[in-house]
Amino acid sequence: MTRNFWSVAFAVAWRVVHNVFTTPALFVPGLLFPLFFFTAFAGGLSRVSSIPGFDFPPGYTAFQFVFVLLQSAAFGGVFTGFGVARDFEYGFARRLMLAAPNRRGLIAGYAIAAIVRWSVTATILTVVALAAGMNIGGGGVDLFALYLLAVLVNITATLWATGVALRIRTMQAGPVMQMPVFLILFFAPVYVPLALLEGWLHAVASVNPTTAFLEAGRGLIAGEPTHVAVAFGAALALGAAFMLWAFRGLKSAERAL
């Protein structure tokens, strides 16, 4: 049973990774968008760090790097969900489901592929950020925790998008996968710390789990960990909830076979 699960997972993961890295139209947007955001935010908005009350010792580049890293992780998962929807639209997923001895392995395979895909994006993004002069205050353990948190966000987003794709089973599901992730990412302290947000956005950001991810990530890169347990707890809870969501989506897809 376990062997069936992993053989399906690795086969699906290999296929998705191969497709993504041999098709520039699939890989390039997922790589370019985080770089655009990083350039625009870290480069164009660096003066924002002069706002009274803005206190982040490593500087605005590191402040924005954490957001873009987590954003790339989340959108890496969403882009993988697009691939699941595409597989259904072209009929490949139907054949895959008939052939797989353990269908839960399909979801695991897409999640593994999402991590591999995002790892490349994260590596390039990190190199660009370091080349742009990003300061890092945290040590090795802090940085490991930061990237681990991003991996959890990546898996959570993959499970969300895969669950949508398994239910709707068409590329038209794209906005349904993308829009909630976009909103939950931006209804958070993206440009300034939570304390400097005002009005309705402050109220929304205060209860948004993305805020915990960002605050923990920024604390880790600064070497002053804060809210780390809350962030990991929220990421694991969301991951578990969306795993259930994806498995139920699989049941829905099985009924449609």
Partner 1 sequence: MSVLAAQVGQIAQRSVVRTLRQPASAIPPFIFPTALLAVTSAGLTSATRLPGFPSDSFLAFFLAFPFIQGALFATMNAGTDLARDIQTGFLNRLALTPMRGAALIIGHLAGVVTMGFLQACFYLVVGLVAGVTIASGPLGVVVILILATLIAFAFGALGAFFALQTGSGEAVQGLFPLLFVGLFLSSMNLPRELIETDWFRIVATLNPISYLIEAIRSLIIYGWNPQALVLGFGCALLIAALSITASVWAMRRRLTRT
The contact set with partner 1 (CB under 8 A) reads 25, 28-29, 32-33, 36-37, 39-40, 43-48, 50-54, 172, 175, 182-183, 186-187, 189-192, 196-201
Tokens found for residue 95: 């054949």
Residue whose CB is less far from partner 1, 143 or 176: 176
Cβ pair 157, 74 in contact under 8 A: yes
Residue whose CB is less far from partner 1, 137 or 193: 193
Residue whose CB is less far from partner 1, 205 or 234: 205
**Least Å from the CB of residue 109 to partner 1:** 26
Residue 156's nearest CA partner among 130, 183, 181, 121 is 181
- Alpha helix (H) residue ranges in 135-227: 140-168, 174-186, 199-207, 209-222
Distance CA 257, CA 247 (A): 15
**Least Å from the CB of residue 94 to partner 1:** 24
What's the CA dihedral at 118, 121, 126, 128 to 10 degrees?
A: -170
- Alpha helix (H) residue ranges in 53-101: 60-89, 92-99
**Least Å from the CB of residue 247 to partner 1:** 29
Tokens found for residue 102: 């353990």
Distance CA 102, CA 99 (A): 9
Residue whose CB is less far from partner 1, 25 or 257: 25
What's the CA dihedral at 141, 146, 151, 154 to 10 degrees?
A: 180
Residue whose CB is less far from partner 1, 70 or 246: 70
The residue assigned the tokens 């993004």 is: 125
Residue whose CB is less far from partner 1, 45 or 124: 45
**Least Å from the CB of residue 235 to partner 1:** 22
